Amino acid sequence: MIDLLILKAADVQAAFLFEGVIVMNHATRYLLAGLLAACAFTAQAETKVVIETNMGNIELSLDEQRAPKSVANFVAYAKQGFYSGTIFHRVIPGFMIQGGGMTADMIEKPTSKAITNEADNGLKNTVGTIAMARTSAPNSATSQFFINLADNDFLNHKDRSAAGFGYAVFGHVTKGMDVVQRIGQVRTTSRLIHQNVPVQPVVIKNVRVGQ
C-alpha cells in the first residue's frame, strides 16, 4: 500500500488509491510534471565551482542557462587543471580582481581558441559577479576572468558595437566574498608591461568543479 500525502481536503478528489496505485486527474498530473521538470532544469542550469587560492576559497555558482558558452569554457579549463598555478595578476581596489591566465613569473599561458561574447545575456556586472576578461575585440575571451568588486555598469552590454558590447557575466560568488575583498586590497606594483600586479602573488591553487 502507498501512503498518500494530502495537501488539503479539496485536493482529495485529485488522487485515488486503486490497488496500491495513485491515480491523478489530468490537471494534477501536468502540475506535478511541470514542477519536477522545473526542479530538474534549475538543478542543471547551475554549476558550482570553488576557486582555491593561497588567501582562501571562493565559491561560485555559474549560470549555464544564460551563459552556456562562457560556463562550458571556464569548466573545461578548470577540469584540465589549467588554472592551477596561475595568479590574480591584476587587482584594482573598488573595481575588480582579474586572473586565470598568468603564472607567478608573469608568463601568459597558451590557451584554446577564443569564445563568442555572451555579454548580451541580460546578466549585469554587479558586485560579486564573475565575467570573462578580454581584449578590445568583443569575441576575444579565452581563459581569463574577473570578479567585480563594485557595480560596474560601464562594463555591461549596451549595443553590438565593439565599444558597447560589454563583458560577459557568467556567474556569481556564493561564499568567500570576504576573500575576494581581501584580494582586492593587496598592495600592487608594476611588473614588465603589466600594472596593478600584487606585490605578493595571489595564487590560484586549483579550481574544483561540482563540489
Q: What is the pLDDT of residue 44?
A: 52
Residue 15 burial (CB count, 10 A): 17
Q: What is the pLDDT of residue 34?
A: 53
Mean pLDDT in residue range 9-17: 38
Q: How high does pLDDT run on average in the chain?
A: 86
| Burial class for 81, CB neighbours closer than 10 Å (0-12, 13-18, 19+) | exposed
Tell me which residue has cell 532544469: 41
pLDDT in tens, 121-178: 999 999 999 999 999 999 999 999 999 999 999 999 999 999 999 999 999 999 999 9
Mean pLDDT in residue range 78-87: 99
Distances (CA, A) of 54 to 84, 176, 183: 11, 13, 10
pLDDT in tens, 184-211: 999 999 998 999 999 999 999 999 999 5
Say yes or no to pLDDT of 40 above 50. no
Helix extents (H) in the chain:
26-45, 68-80, 177-183
